[in-house]
Amino acid sequence: MDQPLSPEQVAQFRNDGFLVFRKLASAAGCEAMLEVVHAHLKRAIPPVEYEAQVGYDGAPESLDAPGGRTIRRLRAAYQRDSCFRTWAGDERILGWLRQLLEERVCLTLAHHNCVMTKHPNFGTATGWHRDIRYWSFARNELVAVWLALGAETEENGALHVIPGSHRLEVGRHQLDDLDFLRPDVAENQALFAQGRVLELQQGDVVFFHSGLFHSAGRNKTAAVKHSLVFAYRGVSNTPVEGSRSAAAGEITFRA
Ligand SMILES: O=C(O)CCC(=O)C(=O)O
């Protein structure tokens, strides 16, 4: 590990549920990854997820509807190319995750493990949610590592987070059928008011807790936004047997 997280950074993560690292990846590294991303998007190299399959509000109705084949995620990023594997195994990231999770870490191949794209026009917004909602592990203690391959701004659909919301208890009545926070519930409106946008530049990274409520808007610019996202867990935080979280396996790292 280059430099361990300071006690202040560890305390900030525990309190806020996220940490931002500026310029962690080099411009050259991001551009090399973008080259691979563009080639895979162009040929729609599987596995991919289309906007029509995400099914969020405003998404095209079917694959054959206008915009239906807009790619939302290049799945299985780890398996796609060595540039993504090298990033996923970056010693600085693993060291910091080890500090936060207080044990050796592994990367779960079942969740995130993708290049998220947000296209103009057909790229849909994502409501306020916790990643853990569809994940099944012994504990709600995973960390997503989100790398901005280009600038992420309010305009092109940057992440929004509610600081500290990984520590909140929310009632069933606050959530809709897909476990998004319901916009029509007064308690939620008070939460939304605490949301803040995480504007990122190329190479910036966000670590965020699997219980953190986050959302993202539409892309109102003319250029596609690309982010590489992996999820990590402590080795003792095993997936529930038979669940989707257990289905794809994991990558364990030395030390
Ligand atoms: O870029 C977005 O719309 C948000 C993606 C996200 O939060 C997720 O897939 O968990």
Q: Determine contact, residues 226/149, Cβ cutoff 8 Å.
A: yes
Question: Does residue 2 sit within a domain?
Answer: no
Q: Is residue 229 part of a domain?
A: no
**Beta bridge mates, 208:** 18, 144
CA separation (Å) from 33 to 80, 82, 165? 11, 10, 32
Ligand 1: atom nearest CA of 124 is 3
Q: What is the mean pLDDT of residues 62-74?
A: 94
The CA distance from 119 to 52, in Å, is 13
Pocket-testing residue among 124, 159, 162, 220, ligand 1, by greatest number of atoms within 8 A of Cβ: 159
Q: How far apart are CA 60 and CA 70, in angstroms?
A: 9
* Count of alpha carbons within 13 angstroms of residue 4, beta-carbon side: 8
In the chain, the number of structural domains is 1
Residue 223: name the closest of 117, 146, 127 by CA. 117
pLDDT of residue 7: 98
Confidence tier at 1 by pLDDT (50, 70, 90):
low
Cβ-based neighbour number of residue 150 at 10 Å: 19
Mean pLDDT of 90-117: 97
Give the residue whose CA is nearest to atom 2 of ligand 1: 216
Predicted confidence at residue 87, as pLDDT, reads 98
Residue 107 lies in a domain: yes
pLDDT-derived band at 57 (thresholds 50, 70, 90) equals confident
In a domain, 226, yes or no: no
Q: What 8-state DSSP symbol labels residue 61?
A: S
Q: How far apart are CA 241 and CA 42, in angstroms?
A: 37
228 within a domain of the structure (yes/no):
no
Residue 134 inside a domain? The answer is yes
Q: Tell me what the pLDDT averaged over the chain comes to.
A: 96
Domain at 17, CATH number: 2.60.120.620
Q: Determine the structural domain holding residue 128 and report its residue range.
A: 7-220+235-252
What's the rounded Cα separation, in Å, for the pair 52 and 155?
Answer: 22
Percent of the chain with pLDDT over 70: 99
DSSP letter (8 states) at residue 112: S
165 touches ligand 1 (CB under 6 Å): no
First-to-final CA distance of the chain: 11
How much is the pLDDT for 31? Answer: 98
Are 108 and 142 contacting, i.e. CB atoms less than 8 angstroms apart? Answer: yes
Q: For residue 215, report the distance from its CA to the centre of ligand 1, in Å.
A: 6
Please report the pLDDT score of residue 58 as a whole number.
85
Residues 179-187 have a mean pLDDT of 96
Mutate to test the pocket of ligand 1, among 116, 197, 210, 224 (most ligand atoms within 8 A of CB): 116
Residue 197's pLDDT band (cuts 50, 70, 90) = very high
In a domain? residue 25 = yes
Give the residue, by CA position, lying nearest to ligand 1 atom 4. 216
